[in-house]
Amino acid sequence: MEFTINATSNNARACTIVTAHSTIETPVFMPVGTQGTVKALDANDMLELGAKIILGNTYHLYLRPGSKLVKKFGGLHGFSKFPNSFLTDSGGFQAFSLSDNSKPDENGIMFKSHIDGSKHYFTPKSVLDTQYDLNSDIMMILDDLVALPNTKERISKSIERAQKKVERYADDLLLMTPMLWDKTILEPGAKLSKVTIDVHLATFGYPKKIEEGVSL
């Protein structure tokens, strides 16, 4: 994956992301294809609309139709027939939005399926394995989403969990990125590893000055 900054204006950036399947110019609208496809639209519709990338939800794809089945079709591209890029999330947002059915801990997230009540434990490794089956172009580390407002202690815990995951799976950083859901957690004194910051700067194009408010 290649990332190029084309222009800047204060903290805003216009960038180009090149994946194996498409060239994406940011800022970009990324349609949500929860289960690999956008509801009521097929791949031809998405191409006619000019979509360069679609978001797929790892949690939902894992449960239905199942990442192993998607893999048999050649990943999301073969399954959906959409030839451009896919970004997959990690399931961390579903732990937040389906909080009544999930319980995070230091090592992962236990989900109770909203479909049949079965239990599934998501870990940083299992989430990556699922995304490899989906063969998405941009993957996400299992994130710990924090509802805001929240206590500094809970926000710090979220940062600590994300940092450990990034450091453990640093070899995969060309394919994935940690999630920072709100700049609130980057207040002065927040602790993030240098590798976390580098990944953000390399993928989403956060302004360099973000480092000034982070203890490295």
Per-residue pLDDT tens over the stretch 82-118 = 999 999 999 988 988 999 999 988 889 999 999 999 9
Name 57's Cβ contacts closer than 8 Å, sequence gap at least 6.
32, 34, 35, 88, 89, 91, 94
What is the spatial distance between Cα 67 and Cα 106, in angstroms, rounded to a whole number? 25
Chain-centre distance of CA 58, in angstroms?
A: 9
Query: Which residues are bridge partners to 60 per DSSP?
Result: none
Full-model pTM = 0.79
pLDDT for residue 171 = 58
From start to end of the chain, where are the E strands? 2-9, 12-18, 23-26, 53-56, 85-88, 102-104, 109-112, 119-122, 139-140, 176-177, 190-191, 214-215
- pLDDT tens digits for range 75-89: 999 999 999 999 999
How far apart CA 37 and CA 28 sit, in angstroms, is 18
Q: Note the pLDDT tens digit of each residue in 53-71.
A: 999 999 999 999 999 999 9
Amino acid at 211: E
